[in-house]
Amino acid sequence: MQALQEVVQQEQADVGIALDGDGDRVLFVDSNGEIVDGDELLYVIAQHRHSHNNCNGVVGTQMSNLGLELALSEMNIPFERAKVGDRYVVEALKANDWVLGGESSGHILCGELNTTGDGIVSALQVMRALADANKTLAQLKSEMTKFPQMMINVNLPKRVDISQNLQINQVVAEAEKRLDGRGRVLLRPSGTEPVIRVMVEGEDSVLVNNLVNQIADLVRQQVK
């Protein structure tokens, strides 16, 4: 992405578009050289469809930024979180009879156009939104405010279920109270490696940093 950022600025381009190896994920770079992730791209597409009365709901994941959820709420667009993974996003879309969903990684599903994520299709949806709005990508994405989000991976000596750990549940509850409804705490075991992902997001980056380290330290102590 760094190489793309540099070229966009050197060429004074409007956008830069990056696809992953198999082309199912896409990320953008705006004219300021800033990376635009999947949450922001999903917002741009949803906003465009909403302006055409064509967005009945959006599916994200547990890792989708809270700023996306709040921005959609302001437009009265229903939002549902699925487990991480495109298969779960697809399941939630089918269950709700919606067509638009995705992940912050840039895996976006436009169900009326394709049965799975397609980076080229997603990129074209973003470009159409820019053209119709006659705005830059930087302008459109600025209408969604991303919350600071930090994640720490805690290594496990073996797979452990921490869902019933009273001390961990207590510190999580205290953290959520301090976030006062303007942030989230998520503890998610990895499906592929022996780690627990500790994620905290909120408006105050200092508080987010303190809380995620506090919770991660306790999880390390409890899983020894």
Q: pLDDT tens-digit profile of 149-191?
A: 999 999 988 777 888 889 999 999 999 999 988 899 999 888 7
Percentage of the chain modeled with pLDDT above 90:
83
Nearest to 163 by CA among 183, 179, 187, 185: 187
> Please, are residues 136 and 51 in contact by the beta-carbon 8 Å criterion?
no
> Please, are residues 26 and 18 in contact by the beta-carbon 8 Å criterion?
yes
| CATH 3.30.310.50 is the classification of domain 149-222 | yes
Average per-residue pLDDT for the chain? 94
CATH dotted code for 2-141? 3.40.120.10
Nearest to 118 by CA among 126, 127, 109, 131: 109
Residue 178, H or E segment: helix 166-179
Residue spans in the chain of domains classed CATH 3.40.120.10: 2-141
> Can you give the pLDDT at residue 198?
96
More confident residue, 21 or 191: 21
Residue spans in the chain of domains classed CATH 3.30.310.50: 149-222
Q: Is the pLDDT of residue 26 over 90?
A: yes
Q: Is the pLDDT of residue 139 over 90?
A: yes
> Can you give the pLDDT at residue 171?
95
Dist. CA 133–CA 118, nearest whole Å: 23
Distant-in-sequence, close-in-space partners of 155: CB < 8 Å, separation ≥ 6:
194, 195
> Please, are residues 31 and 8 in contact by the beta-carbon 8 Å criterion?
yes
Dist. CA 66–CA 204, nearest whole Å: 13
Nearest to 120 by CA among 99, 138, 106: 106
Q: What is the mean pLDDT of residues 5-12?
A: 97
> Can you give the pLDDT at residue 164?
87
Q: What is the mean pLDDT of residues 43-72?
A: 95
> Can you give the pLDDT at residue 185?
96
Cα angle for residues 57, 59, 61 (degrees, 5° grid): 155
Q: What is the mean pLDDT of residues 7-29?
A: 96
In this predicted structure, which of 8-17, 56-65, 158-167, 194-203 has the lowest mean pLDDT?
158-167
Q: Is the pLDDT of residue 120 over 90?
A: yes
Q: How many residues does the chain have?
A: 224
Measured CA to CA in angstroms, residue 159 lies from 47, 74, 148 at distances of 41, 40, 29
> Can you give the pLDDT at residue 223?
84
Residue 28, H or E segment: strand 26-30
